[in-house]
Amino acid sequence: MTQSNKDLSTMEMPVMCECGVWFDLNDGYGKEDENVTVCESCHNKEVDAREFWEECETEFLDGNFRMLSWNQPFASLMLHGKIETRRKSTNVRGKVLICACKKFYSFDQVKNLSCDYQIGDLLNLFSVISYSSLQNKLPIGVAIAVGDLINCRPHTLQDMPKSFVNHDANLFSWVFENVKQIDPFEIKGKQGWGFVTEDILNKIRLKQ
């Protein structure tokens, strides 16, 4: 966003923020760790990032911050409101580090799991025209998001659009909310639940 000259002329002390936007130094905010003044929008982002990390830290200190791996493209779909489906029910609730393991489902595997319109939605969401472009686009072997697991219940027909798989009465819907993208970092994927270690916690940064 750039501001007009008129805006600039009304500023007492116009300065350019590190994000490239002009702001009045009188309306600026000091950064938390550096002696730099930034615009309101950058300040708000910094506050969001700090609050997000503090939430993660609290959950970690409570011993309730878990991690789980997904095969792509389903890991990245979690950032688009996917209802996760698994064959097992779970009583786990709380923060989950969402990791994309090294495995990418082949097109045939996705065709077995999902119906045509879901595959169409999938390609549209990531603005690609083919499944092979998707395979080149989505990250693997990295942690990509943090979300809250809030519910688990049998899969319903109504869950189909958001789960991106065909209805199956033997499936369970794992409902996440508040899924936020983080700066991706490399992680060893493994089957089933793991716990976030302090080392991993310290790598988590909200994507800006």
* 85 close to 174: Cβ distance less than 8 angstroms: yes
Residue placing its CB nearer to Zn ion in the complex, 40 or 168: 40
CB within 8 Å of 60: residues ≥ 6 apart: 196, 198, 201
Q: How far is the CB of 9 from Zn ion (least distance, A)?
A: 20
Q: Give the pairing type, strands 94-104 and 37-38.
A: unpaired
Is the CB of residue 57 less than 8 Å from the CB of residue 45? Answer: no
Closer Cβ to Zn ion, 17 or 67, answer by number: 17
Contacts of Zn ion in 103-142 (CB under 5 A): none
> Of the two residues 1 and 129, which places its CB atom closer to Zn ion in the complex?
1
Beta carbon of residue 3, minimum distance to Zn ion (angstroms, whole number): 11
**Residue 34 or 116 having the CB closest to Zn ion:** 34
Q: Which stretch binds Zn ion (CB under 5 A): 39-47, 74-82, 127-135, 168-176?
A: 39-47
Q: Measured between alpha carbons, how far is 92 from 81 in angstroms, rounded to an integer?
A: 19
Q: Dihedral sign, CA of 135, 207, 70, 200?
A: positive
> Which has the closest alpha carbon to 162: 80, 102, 70, 107?
80
How many residues sit close enough to Zn ion to count as binding (CB under 5 A)?
5
By the rule CB under 5 A, 98 interacts with Zn ion: no
Q: Which of 42, 83, 101, 206 binds Zn ion (CB under 5 A)?
A: 42
Only one of the segments 34-42, 65-73, 75-83, 110-118 lies at the binding site for Zn ion (rule: CB under 5 A); that segment is 34-42
Question: First-to-last CA distance in the chain?
Answer: 16
41 or 130: CB nearest Zn ion: 41
Assigned token pair, 29 = 């905010």
Residue 52: how many other CB atoms lie within 10 Å: 18
Annotate each residue in 14-33 with x if it binds Zn ion (CB under 5 A) or - if it does not, as one string: ---x-x--------------
Query: Is residue 39 near Zn ion by the rule CB under 5 A?
Result: yes
16 pairs with which residues across the strands?
Answer: 22
Residues that bind Zn ion (CB under 5 A): 17, 19, 38-39, 42
